[in-house]
């Protein structure tokens, strides 16, 4: 009888650990393919402009987690990080949009570079004037 109780307890415990592990496997963050819908040709120095960025999620559980952006040598490079939090999702691709404010303190020619796919960026050029 003690062996049966021990086996049942171990089975239940094993299921709990396995279920928790599979739930953890469903949460992930990864870069999402994106493009800018309204890239300007020019901006005034220090003007705040709101870019509209369209991005792709791979299932109904995908949500924008963050935008990883870095301005270096007049190139603004950005990647959208998409978070998937569940295994119970509809297996459909969806496009969504988000706004991202940009502003430049110096005049000159700039490049907006947004991650579209592995080793591929969509590039937009703009001029910042006085």
- The domain spans of the chain are 27-129
pTM, whole model, 2 decimals? 0.77
Q: Which fold has domain 27-129?
A: Immunoglobulin-like (2.60.40)
Q: What are the mean pLDDT values of the chain's consecutive 10-residue runs (130 residues total)?
A: 44 41 72 96 97 95 95 96 92 94 97 96 96
Question: For 15, how many CA atoms within 13 A lie in the half-sphere containing its CB?
Answer: 5
Tokens for 85?
A: 């939090």
Give alpha helix (H) positions in the chain: 2-25
- Measured CA to CA, the distance from residue 10 to residue 26 in angstroms comes to 25
């Amino acid at each position: 009888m003690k062996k049966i109780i021990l086996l049942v307890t171990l089975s239940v415990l094993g299921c709990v650990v396995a279920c928790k592990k599979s739930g953890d496997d469903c949460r992930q963050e990864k870069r999402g393919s994106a493009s800018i819908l309204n890239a300007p040709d020019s901006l005034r120095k220090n003007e705040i402009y709101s870019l509209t960025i369209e991005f792709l999620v791979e299932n109904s559980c995908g949500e924008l987690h963050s935008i990883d952006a870095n301005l270096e040598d007049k190139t603004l490079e950005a990647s959208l990080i998409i978070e998937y939090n569940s295994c119970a999702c509809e297996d459909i691709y969806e496009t969504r949009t988000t706004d991202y404010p940009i502003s430049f303190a110096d005049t000159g020619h700039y490049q907006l570079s947004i991650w579209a796919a592995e080793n591929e960026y969509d590039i937009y050029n703009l001029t910042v004037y006085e």
